[in-house]
Amino acid sequence: MEALLSEFKSIGKFSVGKEEKKHPKLDNIVKLTLDFESKTKNVQLIMVEPFPPLGRANKDLERLKSLHHGEIDRICAFGEVADQHSPKNHRIEIWMNSADDGITIFCRKVEISVHQIQSAQT
């Protein structure tokens, strides 16, 4: 059974944040951060060792970078599925507003940081 860690709807200000690589000259990504707003929260999803097995993103990273928050319906973070027959890593699923379109990114671990958006005081 899958372990849904978090689901975020009403996405605003979506961007690909920090990319940490094993070495500046290599394409292997060891951490990738997605920054976005969801309703009244600032969210950071940090994917540890994304794009297994080697951390090479190819077209998936370019597609992530080109996304606009208006295209996104929801973002879901799933935990590891410990199944001896078919174990699965953590993953992030980004569901689009368009019919049955989405992006799935597997990683070794998902770290979630959520902060309330401070309202402007007058």
Residue spans of the domains in the chain: they are 4-116
Structure tokens at 27: 């394409």
pLDDT at position 76: 95
Task: Give the residues across from 31 on adjacent strands.
Answer: 20, 48
| 115 three-state secondary structure | strand
**pLDDT tens track for 64-77:** 889 999 999 999 99
| Residue-by-residue DSSP string for 47-113 | EEEESTTTT--THHHHHHHH--GGGEEEEEEE--B--SSS-B-EEEEEEESSTT-EEEEEEEEEEEE
Chain-wide mean pLDDT for the chain? 84
What is the per-residue pLDDT for 122?
Answer: 44
pTM over 0.95: no
Are the beta carbons of 3 and 48 closer than 8 angstroms? no
Residue numbers in the chain where pLDDT is lower than 50: 122
Q: Which two tokens stand for residue 60?
A: 């998936």
Do the Cβ atoms of 77 and 112 come closer than 8 Å? yes
Q: What is the number of other CB atoms lying within 10 angstroms of the CB of residue 118? A: 8
